[in-house]
Amino acid sequence: MSFRQRCWLYSAFSITVGSGATWAIIWHFFRGDPEMAQPIENTLLKVHLAGALILLVALGAALPKHASKSWAAKINRPGSTLFLGSLLGAVVTGYGILAFVWETRLMHFTHIALGMAMTVFLPMHILIGSYQEKKRIMARHRDDSR
């Protein structure tokens, strides 16, 4: 992926996760004064939704070149599957909460758990992918020098 594409992706991911985590912390731990918390929560949800939409566009831009090339080369499939699976789950639960008003504790906790999982799976995907790519480049150089 290009540097610019990575910047878009990582920025959108950070905004989405940061606003979602901040909202969840306020919602679950600091709701003592609902009048004071409500405007902050509404703003955080708007930022979270905007970040999620930008994240989906950035991921969609990465899929044709980055993902298809790596998948065909059988590079980092488990890391990709975990990240994209958790992302898809977060999209479905987030859409369910917004569009179908699935306002249940289970849905909220599932959405939050999937968001937390993504914060582990994306760095894991990046680290494994860079390690495998370096290993592939080193093997290619060894083969060329013979």
Cα–Cα distance measured from residue 34 to residue 90, given in angstroms and rounded to the nearest whole number: 26
Supply 113's token pair. 């758990």
Entry pTM: 0.83
The sign of the dihedral angle between the CA atoms of 51, 56, 60, 66 is positive
* Residue 66 near residue 1, CB atoms below 8 Å: yes
Predicted confidence (pLDDT) per residue in 95-127, tens digit: 988 888 777 888 889 999 999 999 999 999 989
pLDDT digits (tens, 9 = 90+) for 21-50: 999 888 888 777 777 778 888 899 999 999
122-134: b (≥16 Cβ within 10 Å) or e: beebeebbeebee
- Closest Cα to residue 83, out of 71, 96, 100? 71
Whether residues 143 and 80 fall in one domain: yes
Residue 67 counted as domain residue: no
The separation between the first and the last C-alpha atoms of the chain, rounded to the nearest angstrom, is 30
Strand ranges for the chain from DSSP E: none
- In this structure, are 78 and 39 located in the same domain? no
What's the distance, CA 4 to chain centroid?
A: 17
Same domain for 78 and 145? yes
Say whether both 42 and 77 belong to one domain: no
Is the same domain home to 17 and 48? Answer: yes
Are 58 and 86 members of one domain?
no
Please state, in angstroms and rounded to a whole number, the distance separating the CA atoms of residues 80 and 131.
14
Same domain assignment for residues 51 and 79: no
Number of independent structural domains in the chain? 2
Judge if 92 and 121 occupy the same domain. Answer: yes
136 or 115, which is more confident? 115
Question: Is 51 found in the same domain as 92?
Answer: no
Expressed as residue numbers, the domain containing 134 is: 73-146
| Matching residue, tokens 């996760």 | 17
